[in-house]
Structure 1
Amino acid sequence: MKLVDIETVEPGQTLGRTIFSANGTVLLSMGVQLTVYMISTLKRLGVTTVYLDDPMFRDITVDEVLSDDTKRAVIRQMSETFETLRSGKQFSTKSIGQTIDQLLDDVLKNQGVLVQLSDIRTEDNAMFIHAMNVCMMSSLLGLEFGLNMVQLKELAIGTLLHDIGKLNAPEIQEGKMHHSWRGFELLKNKREYSLLIAHIAFQHHEAVDGSGFPRGLTGEEIHLYAKIAAAANTYDNLLFNAEDLKPLLPHEACERMNAMSGRELDHEVLVHFMRIVSVYPNGISVRLSNRQTGVVVGQHRGLPGRPIVRVIDKQGEEVVAAKEIDLAQHPTLFIDAVLS
């Protein structure tokens, strides 16, 4: 499969990855042939990129940390939790705990898989997928830091609910400060949760240099859980929810985050973060420094910037050759640009 801009999609092409609705049900299944109506509906829902089935790249898979079953469960759980809060009721900590157990099972089983955030977002499901991704990445980082299972579950619950204070909060600078406080107040009153879980919501917008909010904490005043949440939250936002900015590609987001090291983001957390993320995800089109173009088809853990690229040579519309170039084996060759 291949990742493409929604504006280039044509009727009759085949969807390469399932798209979920806001309540965790399937909106469009992998393998469906797209119609004019489907394409226009995806655009209306705010979808900007999709994975398409491509005969030349049909064998390309995106290794996932979370299974589709787990993703559906997490998205459904977040939808139910927010709906419960909107109705003025108390959400179920037991249900969230069971969902987190399922998520952590996947994380532990797939901790060697590099993060590739490939789920297609709509305006309805974006907040829930964001929460899921921040939770998943934070859990992987927790493993990097050697957290035990009790600590991992605290971290996972807190990061899944880190934006819970955004419910009914205005999306302005004061609103950001409000959603940190509001999230803290909602979570600290849950007797089943440790106070550290509430502090993830409270501190995930703090910066190690003191420039963050709501309290302007610095360095060791910020708990490790919140520093981890800040990195995961920043990455997902840079890719999909950059305020007043064009969303970045993974390699651009990593460069931006490295520039934040020691200022907005903790340096040690960033070192670990760069070990878990795929800089050039499978399915993305790239141009190499030798001017050849191709699609990323494989990854190397520990060498995220040196993926395997399949180059297709054509004469007109006819494919005359296809070869894979492992950039880990070609130190003088590098990715010059991302084309999709």
Structure 2
Amino acid sequence: MKLVDIETVEPGQILGKTIFSSNGTILLSTGVQLTVYMISTLKRIGVTTIYIDNPLYRDISVDEMLSDETKRAVIHQMSEMFETLRSGKTFSSKAIGQTVDELLDDVLRNQNILIHLSDIRTADNAMFLHAMNVCMISSLLGLNMGLNMIQLKELAIGALLHDIGKLNAPEVQEGRMHHAWRGFDLLKNKREYSLLIAHVAFQHHETIDGTGVPRGLKGEEIHIYAKIAAVANIYDNLLFNSGEERILLPHEACERLNAMSGTLLDHEVLTQFMRIVSIYPNGISVKLSNRQTGVVVGQHRGLPGRPIVRIIDKDGDEAVGFKEIDLAQHPTVFIEAVLS
């Protein structure tokens, strides 16, 4: 598979990764041959990049922490929960708990896989994918930071529901303070939940230096669950909702996060995060300092900035072979740029 800009996709190319709808059903399946209509529709619903099945990179896998079944279950459950709340009813704590159990099972099983947020986001599924990603990242961080299973489940539920206060309250209208309070009020009244779950929604916009909202907490006044969720929340937003002219690439988002260490974000949580994130994901095209260009095909846990890069040898326009450069074994070669 190769990650490409939607503007470069041509009819007849094969989709390399499934795209989900807002209710968890499959919008387009892996292996479908893309048509002019499909490409146009993907552009219209806000898709900017997709994975394409390329013969030169067919053996490249994008290791996923969550299975497609778990992703469908999480997205579907979040969609159902929001519809329930919109109708004025209360959501099922048991159903959310069961969904979180499935997610945690995947995280525990695949905890050595580096975080790579590769699911294609559309205007309809963005909120649910964001919640799922914040939950997944927070769970892996909590696991690496020594939380026990009871704590992990509390953290995971809180992270999945961290933006529940946004229901019927768009950010542009009411701001972070209001949705934090609203989320806290919704969750603190769930008798089945620990109050700490509600505090994830309440505190995930607090900052270490006390400049956050809604209460201006600082340092140790902020619960560790909220510190973890804050890193996951900001990282996902930087990749998909940065508020800038373009979304940031993983290595750029990591640079932004590092600049927040000790002021906005907790230093220890960030240190752990940098150990589990894929800075240059498989399938992305890069330019090396030796002037060669290639595609990332492999990762090293603990060395996220030194992946394995495949260089295609060509005779004119025809590929005649390839070689791979393991940047962990070539310290004088580095990634100079990520190519679109």
- TM-score tier, shorter chain, comes to over 0.9
Looking at structure 2, the residues matched to 170 and 318 of structure 1 have their Cα atoms a distance apart, in angstroms, of: 51
Could you say if the C-alpha distance between residues 245 and 263 of structure 1 is closer, same or farther in structure 2, counting changes exceeding 3 Å?
Answer: farther
**In the TM superposition, what whole-angstrom CA distance separates every residue of 1:78-109 from its partner, at most 9, and x where no partner exists?**
00000000000000000000000000000000
Looking at structure 1, the residues matched to 81 and 245 of structure 2 have their Cα atoms a distance apart, in angstroms, of: 30
- The aligned counterpart of 2:235 is 235
SS at match of 2:14: coil
- The aligned counterpart of 1:43 is 43
Looking at structure 1, the residues matched to 300 and 19 of structure 2 have their Cα atoms a distance apart, in angstroms, of: 27
SS at match of 2:263: coil
SS at match of 1:4: strand
Q: CA deviation at 1:245?
A: 4.8
Amino acid at match of 2:200: I
Amino acid at match of 1:94: K
**In the TM superposition, what whole-angstrom CA distance separates every residue of 1:266-314 from its partner, at most 9, and x where no partner exists?**
0000000001100000000000000000000000000000000000122
Q: CA deviation at 1:189?
A: 0.3
Matched, 1:144 2:149: no
Identity %: 80
Looking at structure 1, the residues matched to 184 and 245 of structure 2 have their Cα atoms a distance apart, in angstroms, of: 28
Looking at structure 2, the residues matched to 36 and 8 of structure 1 have their Cα atoms a distance apart, in angstroms, of: 12
- The aligned counterpart of 2:123 is 123
- The aligned counterpart of 1:176 is 176
**In the TM superposition, what whole-angstrom CA distance separates every residue of 1:118-145 from its partner, at most 9, and x where no partner exists?**
0001100000000000000000000111
Where does structure 2 lack aligned partners over 5 or more consecutive residues? none
Equivalent runs, 1:94-173 vs 2, <5 Å: 94-172=94-172
Looking at structure 2, the residues matched to 170 and 238 of structure 1 have their Cα atoms a distance apart, in angstroms, of: 19
- The aligned counterpart of 2:31 is 31
Looking at structure 2, the residues matched to 209 and 334 of structure 1 have their Cα atoms a distance apart, in angstroms, of: 35
TM-score (norm 2): 0.99
Looking at structure 1, the residues matched to 150 and 33 of structure 2 have their Cα atoms a distance apart, in angstroms, of: 45
Looking at structure 2, the residues matched to 293 and 313 of structure 1 have their Cα atoms a distance apart, in angstroms, of: 10
Looking at structure 1, the residues matched to 253 and 74 of structure 2 have their Cα atoms a distance apart, in angstroms, of: 25
SS at match of 2:337: strand
Looking at structure 2, the residues matched to 228 and 303 of structure 1 have their Cα atoms a distance apart, in angstroms, of: 21
Amino acid at match of 1:171: E
- The aligned counterpart of 1:196 is 196
TM-score (norm 1): 0.99
- The aligned counterpart of 1:217 is 217
SS at match of 1:270: helix
SS at match of 1:31: coil
Looking at structure 2, the residues matched to 273 and 145 of structure 1 have their Cα atoms a distance apart, in angstroms, of: 10
Q: CA deviation at 1:154?
A: 0.1
Amino acid at match of 2:5: D
SS at match of 1:328: coil
SS at match of 2:287: strand
Instruction: Tell me whether 29-38 or 309-318 shows the greater mean CA deviation.
Output: 309-318
SS at match of 1:62: coil
Where does structure 1 lack aligned partners over 5 or more consecutive residues? none
Cα RMSD of the aligned pairs, angstroms, is: 0.8
- The aligned counterpart of 1:253 is 253
Q: CA deviation at 1:320?
A: 2.8
Q: CA deviation at 1:153?
A: 0.2
SS at match of 1:196: helix
- The aligned counterpart of 1:300 is 300
Matched, 1:89 2:89: yes
Equivalent runs, 1:324-335 vs 2, <5 Å: 324-335=324-335
Amino acid at match of 1:10: E
Q: CA deviation at 1:176?
A: 1.6
Looking at structure 2, the residues matched to 252 and 113 of structure 1 have their Cα atoms a distance apart, in angstroms, of: 20
SS at match of 1:172: helix
- The aligned counterpart of 1:338 is 338
Q: Give the ranges of 4+ consecutive aligned residues of structure 1 lying more than 4 Å apart after TM superposition.
A: none
Looking at structure 2, the residues matched to 298 and 149 of structure 1 have their Cα atoms a distance apart, in angstroms, of: 31
- The aligned counterpart of 2:271 is 271
Looking at structure 2, the residues matched to 226 and 305 of structure 1 have their Cα atoms a distance apart, in angstroms, of: 27
- The aligned counterpart of 1:313 is 313
- The aligned counterpart of 1:22 is 22
Looking at structure 2, the residues matched to 85 and 173 of structure 1 have their Cα atoms a distance apart, in angstroms, of: 19
- The aligned counterpart of 2:70 is 70
Looking at structure 1, the residues matched to 266 and 41 of structure 2 have their Cα atoms a distance apart, in angstroms, of: 41
Instruction: Tell me whether 312-321 or 9-18 shows the greater mean CA deviation.
Output: 312-321
Q: CA deviation at 1:172?
A: 2.5
Q: CA deviation at 1:173?
A: 7.0
Matched, 1:52 2:52: yes
Amino acid at match of 2:305: G
Could you say if the C-alpha distance between residues 173 and 331 of structure 1 is closer, same or farther in structure 2, counting changes exceeding 3 Å?
Answer: farther
The total of aligned residue pairs comes to 340
Instruction: Tell me whether 326-335 or 172-181 shows the greater mean CA deviation.
Output: 172-181
